[in-house]
Amino acid sequence: MLTVDTFPELLEVSFSRFRDNPAFTFREQTLTYGDVDRLSACFAQFLQECPDLNASDRVAVQLSNTLYYPVAVFGVLRAGMILVNINPRYTAPELERQLKDSGARGLVTSVNGINSFTRISTGTDVRLTVIVDELSPCPLSSQQAEHSFSCSSEKLTFPPAIPGPVYFHNVLALRYKRPFTPDKADPSDVLMLQYTSGTTGVPKGAMLTHRNIVSNTQQMLYHLSEIIDFGSEKFVAPLPLYHIYGFSKHCMLLIAAGGHSLLIDKPGDTHAVVNIFKRFNVTGLVGLATLFNQLCQSDDFTGLDFSHLKITLSGGMPLPADIAERWQSITGCVPVECYGMTEASPVISMNPPDNLYPGTVGIALRGTCFRIVDNNGEDVPHGSVGELVIRGPQVMKGYWQKKKETKKVISDDNWLLTGDMVQLCEDDYIRIVNRKNDVVNVSGFKIHLAEVETVALKHPYISEAVAVGVPSEKSGEAIKLYVVKKSGMVLSVEDIIHFCQKYLTAYKVPSLVEFRNTLPKSGLGKILRHVL
C-alpha cells in the first residue's frame, strides 16, 4: 500500500520500483518507467527555469492519448505547478474560456491546438506556449530530439505580449548542468484544476489537492487489491486521459501499480482496441457502456483470445444489463461497474470484483462516508430514493475562484452533494436512479443542457431553444434541440448544427433538431423541459 503524501512522491516511488517495466505504449513505441522519469524530469526542469513561470502557476495541457501526454503532465506536476487538463478538441471559444478562468500561464498543445490558440482574443495570462508533434516518435535521447518540426512558427501569429512557441522536442534536447530536484509540495496544495460542467452549467475548475489524488489512488488500490498484480497489468486505454475517468485509471491507479497502459488516441476506435488485443496479453480494459456495446457487435473483436482478461472497469455512464451480460458471454469477464464525479477525484464507489451486485455501482470506497437525503437534507428511509451526499479524503477543496458555487455543493462539515438520486440496496450497495439536475451523459461526458441552449440562442434567427437528452444506441444519450424560429426567418437543421459547431466541441453539438411553432411553458413562462 502507498505510504506517500504527495503525487510527485508517488511518481518517484513508481519510477524507482518499476524502472525497467513498460509504462505507456502508443502505436509501435513504448516508454518504460525510467524513460518517463527522465523525459518528464527534463520538462519539469525546463518549466522551473522558465522566467515566465513560478511554482503554483497553472499550466494547461491540451493533448490526446499519445506518449507525450504523461511526459508533459508529469513534468508539470513534478515542477510544482498546477495542471489544467484541456480537451484537445475544444473550439477556440471553449479554449479561451478555460484559459481565462484558470489563469493558466503556460500552454502545452498540439499543432491543431496552437492554431486555435492564435485565433482567440487577447486577455489570457498565457506567457509560455509549447507545441508538441504528437504523432512523431517520442525522442529517447537528446540527439533524437534535435529534428526539424513539422509546424513552422512563421505561419503562426501571436499576440504581442506572448513570445513565439517552444517546441517540445527542443525542450527534450536540453542538457542541464545540475540534476533535477522535484518540487516539495504540501498534501493540502492544489495539484490540478479539473474542469466540469457541474450542477449549474457554468464550467468550473475542481481544485483537486495532492491529498485528494493520493487518497483516491490508495482507495482504488485497496478495493482492487485481490485482483491487481503489481508490475504485470496491461490495460487498454481507449478513454481520453485529459478526462478525469481515464486519468484516474491510467495516470493514478496503474502508475501506482506499475501497470502498462496501451494508448489509443481516438476515443471509440474499436479497430485499435482489436489490434491491441492481438498484440498484447491484455489483462484489463477501462471503458464505457457504449464502447463495450460497439465491441460486442464487432466480429473482429468477438473472435479474439480473452484468456488473460481479468478485469473490465465500467464507469462514466450506466451500464445496461443486456450489454453487461453480452460482454461477459463473449469475454468471460464480468464488468466491474463504478461511480464517481470530478469533484471526488473522481471515484466514490465500486463493485468488489469478487462480490459483484449487477445493476449497482457497488459500495463506497474505504474511508468514504455517505448519506441519502431528501430535499431538506434529512436522511430517507432505507430503500427509498434520495440524493447521495458523501464525505471523504477524495472530496475536492472547492471550485477555483467560485466560493458561492462551492458552498452550493459542499457543506460546512464537508459533505459533497452529488446531485445524483440513488437507492440503497442490501449490504450497502448503491443503485443510481436518475440525475437531480438537467445534465445529459454523452459517451461518458456530462453536458449541462443550459450550455447548449446558450449557444443556440446566440443565433440571430432563433427565438427560443431548449435542449433535452434522448436515448442513443451509439453514445448512451444524445442531445436534441427544440427550436422556435423568429418570424419570417429561413433556417435549416444544417444551419443550426453548423452554428453550434463553431462554439461547442463535437460531443456537445446537438445531433437532432426539431422545429416548433411554440414550446410548452408554465404559468410563469418557464419552458417545461420535462414535457418535451
Per-residue pLDDT of the chain (532 residues; tens, 9 = 90+): 678 999 999 999 999 999 999 999 999 999 999 999 999 999 999 999 998 899 999 999 999 999 999 999 999 999 999 999 999 989 999 999 999 999 999 999 998 899 899 888 778 999 999 999 998 999 887 666 665 444 444 444 545 555 668 999 989 888 787 889 888 999 999 999 999 854 445 679 999 999 999 999 999 999 999 999 999 999 999 999 999 999 999 999 999 999 999 999 988 799 999 999 999 999 999 998 888 988 998 999 999 999 999 999 999 878 888 889 999 999 999 999 999 999 999 999 999 999 999 999 999 999 999 999 998 999 999 999 999 999 999 999 999 999 999 999 999 999 999 999 899 999 999 999 877 767 788 988 878 887 898 899 889 999 889 999 999 988 889 999 999 998 899 999 999 999 999 999 999 999 999 999 998 875 445 677 878 8
User: What letter would DSSP give residue 527?
Assistant: B
Asked whether residue 358 falls in the same domain as residue 301, the answer is: yes
- Does residue 523 belong to any structural domain of this protein? no
Distance between CA 4 and CA 348 in Å, rounded?
Answer: 21
Question: For residue 484, what are the domain limits?
Answer: 439-515
Looking at the structure, do residues 485 and 417 belong to the same domain, yes or no? no
Distance CA 316, CA 237 (A): 14
Residues 295 and 410 in one domain: yes
Q: Give CA 492 to chain center in angstroms.
A: 34
Same domain, yes or no: 74 and 133: yes
Same structural domain, 431 and 448: no
Tell which of 435, 452, 477 closes a domain.
435
Q: What is the pTM of this model?
A: 0.86
Q: What total of structural domains would you count in the chain?
A: 3
Long-range Cβ contact pairs of 16-24 (< 8 A, separation 24 or more) = 17/231, 17/258, 18/231, 18/258, 21/231, 21/258, 21/260, 22/260, 23/70, 23/255, 23/260, 23/261, 24/67, 24/70, 24/260, 24/261, 24/263
Q: Clarify whether residues 346 and 468 are in a common domain.
A: no
Does some domain include residue 28?
yes
**C-alpha cell of 170?**
527542443
Task: Give 404: exposed, middle or buried? Use CB within 10 Å, 0-12, 13-18, 19+.
Answer: exposed
